[in-house]
Structure formats: C-alpha cells, structure tokens
A = this chain, B = another copy of it.
C-alpha cells in the first residue's frame, strides 16, 4: 500500500460563498492600495510607517489579504499594476506564497518570481507537493530547483523529475502522486480502518485505487460504494474493474474530454506495464478546459498567449506582432489584387467604394462556416467521411445568403449609382464570394486535419485572406468584364 501526503485544506479557510463579498474585498484592496501609495517606499524597505492613519490602512490591508483564499489573492495580484502588485505580494502570508504562485497566470508568475530572492523562493516552495514543485520548476531559477530538491526524499525527487519529463500537453505533466491504494483481497472493514490511519485524505478523493503486489492497477473502489458496502464484503466484489484510466503520455485535452463526458472526479494514471503511477483530478481538467478555450479565443483575436494586463508595453508588442505581421501580409496581397485593376477603378470609381462590402460579407460568412466545423472537430463529431455532405450543405446556405443579401446590396448600389450593371455585378460578386467562403471554410479545416495540423490555429486569418483577395478579384474582375 502506498503512502499519501496531506495537502493543506483550504476549502474551509476563510471563504464565504458570497461572490459579492469577494468582489467587495477586491474593491477595498484597490482603494487601500491607492491610499497607501505615499507609504510604498517604507513598505518596500520594511520600515514602520510613521503616519498613524496610513498605518491603520496598512494593517487593514494586511488583515484583508490574510483572510483571502490563495486563489483570490492570485486574482487580486493579476488585477493590480506592477507597483501595487509588488506591495500586495510583500504582504501575503509567506506560507501562502507557494499556493498563490501556482494559481496566478504564467505572465504574472514571472513578475512575482523576479521580485523574490532565493531564500524567499525556497520557503515558498517548501510546502508544495512534488507535482506542484514540478509545475513551478520551469519558471524558477535553476539553483532554487536544485536546492529545493535536496530537501526532499528520494521518492519525491523521483516524482518531481518524472512530472518534469512530460510535455505540457501530456497527462503526466498534470498528474499528482497523492495515491491511496489498497489490495483486492481485503474486506471493506479493513479498508475503513486503514483509511482512519491517515491524518486526512487527498483532495478530491472519490475513489481508492486497487492494485496487486506489483502495483498493477486492478480496479477502483468508489468511496460512495465503500460507504454503503457491507463491512465484511471483499474489495474485489465491490470494486469496479472496467474503468477510465490514462497513460502519462495521453493528450490532456482528450483526457479532459473523457472527464467531461463521463463525469469523472479523479482517474488513475498508469505506465506501459499498467502499473499505477499517479492520478489526475477534475480541478486540473477544469483548468485544461478553460485554457483550451481561452487559447482558441486569443488565437481568433490574434494574440499569441494570455497577456499580463499590465505587462510593459514592449512585452505586449512582442505578444501581438506575429499576427499583425501575418495580417499585413494578407492585406498586402489583397492590395496587390486591387492594384491589378487600377485601370478599371479609374474609369468607374464607384467600384472602390463597393469592393469592401463584397470582401467583408465573404469574411464574415467564411468565419461562421469554419468556426462551426473547427468546433465540431474539436468535439470529435466530425469524421472525414462527412466532409462532402457538409460542403453541400454549406454551399446551399451560401447560395441562399448570397441571393438574399446580394439582391439587397445590388438594389442599394443600383439606386446609389444609377447603374443597373453595377447592381447586377454586385449580386453576382457577393454570391460567388459567399460560395468561395463556404467551400474554403469547409476545406481548410478538413485538409489541416488530414495533415495532422491543429485546424483551429490561424484558420480565421486564412479564411479572411482568401475571402478578401478572392472578393476583390471576383468583384473587380466581373466589373472589368461586363462594365467596361
């Protein structure tokens, strides 16, 4: 049977449910930071504040921060500009430092770690579990990781190294080692007595892992079955054998999907010999789900990664330049398409005013199609076989939309410029560009997927590039053919 560690229990540590209360605390902390700003130099140097009124505010801020859950402290730190963030970070209870570092975003974590010296960092990571230390290790100075490992026993050192050996997207990187495991041939009564010997059970324990003498996973004993079982029953008669388990190399997003689909709270992680090596918990999976969709949203908006709200200007520029550069390239391409028709525009200047409408509706409609298909792929709802059927449907939608909106804008153009020809070219160009958008909107993700690429990444930029250049080409081309 393996030994487990007892993580600190924060669940009951100063949290009221009232979301409003936390939000009021945040506002108060922001206000106190403003009031205290004249005293920042003293606080930073650790000398007592002379002004009595300020000293009272300082005490209030300290008390308030000490009452907050580490996850709330993390949110407060993320919401503060650098100077204030630094002050609040000084005031956080040293024993909470490690938990807070685990909770903040990567960008903010870097700024916090930069502000700490080696001893503070060592103290902060001292209470952390092996998997938590591994999570922070990449952001810590090497010397700190090295010294922190020296204070651990051999088993824990091995755990930290194991956890650090996996890629960020692998289950191994988010598993923990707080395992409670038993043998199949004991009675439930024995299990209950065994459990009572622990000081406390690991967070989220909803099942106990059943292993044989070689630590090979045999099944799981759900706590809610253990509690209703006859004490004389053997574990092997109560346990579930057909269970959801993961390998350390599995993809975290697939694991998260399994947690979501099968409503899991914890699941065992095994190695290639089916030996139990760790477990994953729903709280980590919730983070995976959140980060996954955040990443999609940021990508769609052209941000490379989550950004510290108050990052220095230069850091923000670096986070954003790539997509801006890509956008400029595609815009330049579209611009050259227009350039090729300068002669036509010189003759009918109305074309210059109407062409963005054709390009715009294509981009909007193409993004609708591609988003729907990328989402369906992410949820595992789309296999290659149906691509043809989907294409037919999307082309149908595009045709309906093209005829409706093309006619509307065609009529408007006719009225505005008094030329039926311009109106008809508008109808045709809008319909054709919508058809192009639908076709490419289905094909881009299907092809990306076939070549094993993530269809979400940059799909929005790609489709807009096609519908912009394509839209200008179709509209100006038709106009040149029929109106000149």
Residues of A participating in the B interface, judged by any CB pair closer than 8 Å = 10-17, 19, 23, 26-27, 30, 34, 69, 71-72, 75, 78-79, 81, 192, 195-206, 222-225, 227-230, 240-246, 250, 254-255, 257-265, 267, 282-283, 285-287, 289-290, 293-294, 296-298, 300-303, 306-307, 309-310, 313-314, 316-317, 320-321, 323-325, 327-328, 330-332, 334-336, 338-339, 342, 345-346, 349-357, 359-361, 364-365, 367-368, 370-372, 375-376, 379-383, 385-386, 389-390, 393, 396-397, 400-401, 404-405, 408-409, 412, 416, 460, 468, 472
Contact residue among B16, B323, B342, B357 (Cβ-Cβ distance under 8 Å from A331): B357
Residues on B with beta carbons closer than 8 Å to the beta carbon of A379: 75, 78
B328 touches A357 (CB 8 A): yes
B23 touches A412 (CB 8 A): no
Output the least CB separation between A408 and chain B (Å). Answer: 7
15 extra interface residue pairs, beta carbon distance < 8 Å, beyond A263-B283, A309-B381: A11-B244, A12-B243, A75-B261, A75-B380, A195-B227, A195-B228, A200-B228, A202-B224, A297-B297, A301-B370, A310-B389, A328-B405, A331-B357, A351-B352, A356-B472
Instruction: Please judge, given known A-B contacts A328-B405, A381-B309, whether A364 and B81 are in contact too, CB under 8 Å.
Output: no
A356 touches B342 (CB 8 A): no
Output the least CB separation between A403 and chain B (Å). Answer: 11
B17 touches A246 (CB 8 A): yes
B357 touches A324 (CB 8 A): no
A302 touches B242 (CB 8 A): no
B242 touches A400 (CB 8 A): no
Closest to A412 in B: B332
A380 touches B26 (CB 8 A): yes
Residues on B with beta carbons closer than 8 Å to the beta carbon of A383: 26-27, 30, 79
